[in-house]
Chains A and B, each alone.
Chain A
Amino acid sequence: MRVIRKTIIEMLVVAAVGLTLGVVANAVRGSGSLQWNKSYFASTPAPSADVESPAGSNETASDTGQPAKQPYQKITVDEVVDIVGDPDYDRGQFVFVDARNKKSFAEGHINGAMRCYHYELDSCIEGLLEVALGAEKVIVYCNGGECDDSKYMCQELIQRGVPEQAVYLFEGGWEKWLEEEMPYVEGDE
C-alpha cells in the first residue's frame, strides 16, 4: 500500500513538472506557440441560404463533420495555370496565399504568393487582408493531399470579410503545382 501511494505521488510530481514546463515553454516560445483556447479546426457554420457557386463546385458533407456546403470556391490546377499563363495576367487582380509553414514556403512557393499560416495568423492576417479585400480572386493553397490548412485559411478569410465568391481553394495545392512542373521561387519573400 505504501509503495502504491509513493508511486502515485511520484507520478503526480512528474506530471506537475511536465505541466509547468509545458506552460512556461509555450508562453516564452513566441512564434510556433499555440493559443490555449483557440479552436484551430472548428468549421464555419453552413450559410443559411443555399449557396451555389457559379461553377457548382462547393464541397458536400463528409463523415468528418464538415458543413454541407463550404462557402469558398474551388479551382483546379489547370485553371490556375491558365490564369498565370494569360498575357494579360495582372497580379493585382489575383492573390495567391500560401497557407504552409515558413520552412515549406522557403523551400518553394508560387512567385508572388503571400504566406499566411493558419496557426500563426496574428503575424500575417492584417497584411493579407489589405491585399485580399481588393482582389478579384484570392487563391489559397497548401501542400495538397491530406493538408487541410488551405481550407481553414479560406474560412478565416471569409469570416474576416473577403467575399465568398472571391475565395478559391486550389485543389491539390503545391503537389499539383509541382506535378505540372510549374515555375516556383525559393526563399522567404
Chain B
Amino acid sequence: MRSSSSLFNRFQTAGVPLLAARLVLGGMFIYMGMNKIADPVSFLKQIHLYNILPESPGILLNSVAIVLPWLEVVAGAALLWGLFVRGASLTILLMLLVFTPAILLRALAIQNADGVPFSEIAFDCGCGGGAVVIWKKLLENGGLILLSFVALISRSRFLCLEKLISGRRTTQGSLCSCGCSLSGDTSGTCPECGIATDASPVSSVSSSAKELA
C-alpha cells in the first residue's frame, strides 16, 4: 500500500496536472489582461468602485490600472510557455488571493445595501469578462486558486521552456525531468524532483551538446 507521501510525490512530479494548470491559468490571465489593456479607463472605474484605494492622491488607483493588466499578461504568458513557473504561479496566486475577497466583500455590501439575494448579485467585477454572476465568479476563482497551488508545488517541468533552457544529466544518462539549472551543487540529487544526478556537475551548454551528438 502506497503511503500518502509517495502519492503526493508522484502528483508533484507528474506532468499532466501542471500542464493543465498552466494552460488554464495562463490562457485565462492572458485573455483577461488583454481585455483590461484594451480599455484601461473602464478598468480604472471598476477598481474605483471597490473603494479599497483612496481617490486622492490618484497615483495609487492609476498605477494599479496601468500596471496590473500587464502583470496578468506577463504572468500568464510565463506560465503558458513554462518559464519561471513557480514565480509566475505565485504571482497569479497572490493576485487571486487579493481579488477574490474584494469581490466577495463588494457583493456582500450590495446585498446589505439593496437586499438582493446573494445568488442573484451580478456586476462587472473588473476581471476583464464583463458583468458576471458573483457566486459563479467566486467558485471560478476558487478553482483558479487551486490550479495556482498545483502549478506552485509541482516539480515537473513537462513541456516547459525552462527545461529546454537548462538541463541536468541524471545517472540514467537523460535530462532530469524538472530541468533545473546547476549552481555548483554536487550533492548528486536534484533538489527539485529528487532524482539522482551525476556526481560532477555538468554545464547546460555541454549537456546540450552531448545530447545533440
Determine which of B61, B66, B90 lies in contact with A40 in the assembled complex, contact meaning CB atoms within 8 Å.
B61
Provide the residues of chain A in CB contact with B66, threshold 8 Å: 22-23, 26, 34, 36
Contact status of A19 and B51, CB under 8 A, knowing A25-B37, A26-B40:
no
**Interface 1/0s, chain A 98-131, versus B by CB < 8 A?**
0001000000000000000101000000000000
Is there an interface contact between A13 and B192, defined as CB atoms closer than 8 Å? Answer: no
- The verdict on A51 contacting chain B, using a C-beta distance below 8 Å, is no
**Interface 1/0s, chain B 21-58, versus A by CB < 8 A?**
00000000000000001011100100011010001111
Q: From B43, which residue of chain A is reached at the shortest CB distance?
A: A34
- The verdict on B191 contacting chain A, using a C-beta distance below 8 Å, is yes
Provide the residues of chain B in CB contact with A35, threshold 8 Å: 58, 62
- The verdict on A21 contacting chain B, using a C-beta distance below 8 Å, is yes
Determine which of B39, B58, B73, B75 lies in contact with A32 in the assembled complex, contact meaning CB atoms within 8 Å.
B39
Is there an interface contact between B59 and A36, defined as CB atoms closer than 8 Å? Answer: yes
Number of B residues, CB within 8 Å of A: 38
Provide the residues of chain A in CB contact with B71, threshold 8 Å: 14-15, 18-19, 22
Determine which of B40, B62, B78 lies in contact with A14 in the assembled complex, contact meaning CB atoms within 8 Å.
B78
Cα of A41 to Cα of B47 in the assembled complex, Å: 11
Is there an interface contact between A42 and B87, defined as CB atoms closer than 8 Å? Answer: no
Provide the residues of chain B in CB contact with A25, threshold 8 Å: 37, 70
Is there an interface contact between B40 and A32, defined as CB atoms closer than 8 Å? Answer: yes
Contact status of A14 and B65, CB under 8 A, knowing A3-B86, A34-B44:
no
- The verdict on B128 contacting chain A, using a C-beta distance below 8 Å, is no
**Interface 1/0s, chain A 30-56, versus B by CB < 8 A?**
001111111111110000000000000
Distance in Å: Cβ of A44 to nearest Cβ of chain B? 11
Q: From A21, which residue of chain B is reached at the shortest CB distance?
A: B70
Provide the residues of chain B in CB contact with A65, threshold 8 Å: 55
Q: From B183, which residue of chain A is reached at the shortest CB distance?
A: A2
Interface size, A (range): 35 or more
- The verdict on B3 contacting chain A, using a C-beta distance below 8 Å, is no
Provide the residues of chain A in CB contact with B172, threshold 8 Å: none
Contact status of A11 and B87, CB under 8 A, knowing A22-B67, A34-B40, A38-B58:
yes
Distance in Å: Cβ of B82 to nearest Cβ of chain A? 12
Cα of A64 to Cα of B48 in the assembled complex, Å: 11
Q: From A146, which residue of chain B is reached at the shortest CB distance?
A: B49
Cα of A9 to Cα of B90 in the assembled complex, Å: 11
Is there an interface contact between A14 and B91, defined as CB atoms closer than 8 Å? Answer: yes
Is there an interface contact between B87 and A37, defined as CB atoms closer than 8 Å? Answer: no
Distance in Å: Cβ of B64 to nearest Cβ of chain A? 10
Contact status of A10 and B86, CB under 8 A, knowing A41-B48, A42-B56:
yes
- The verdict on A8 contacting chain B, using a C-beta distance below 8 Å, is yes
Is there an interface contact between A2 and B59, defined as CB atoms closer than 8 Å? Answer: no
- The verdict on A7 contacting chain B, using a C-beta distance below 8 Å, is yes
- The verdict on B206 contacting chain A, using a C-beta distance below 8 Å, is no
Q: What are 21 inter-chain pairs, A to B, with CB distance below 8 A?
A: A3-B191, A6-B86, A6-B87, A7-B86, A8-B87, A8-B90, A10-B90, A11-B90, A13-B84, A13-B87, A14-B88, A18-B74, A22-B70, A23-B66, A32-B41, A34-B40, A35-B62, A36-B59, A39-B55, A42-B55, A119-B44
Contacts from B to A (Cβ < 8 Å) = 37, 39-41, 44, 48-49, 51, 55-59, 61-63, 65-75, 78, 84-88, 90-91, 152, 191-192
Q: Nearest 5 CB-CB pairs, A to B? A: A10-B87, A18-B71, A39-B58, A22-B67, A10-B84
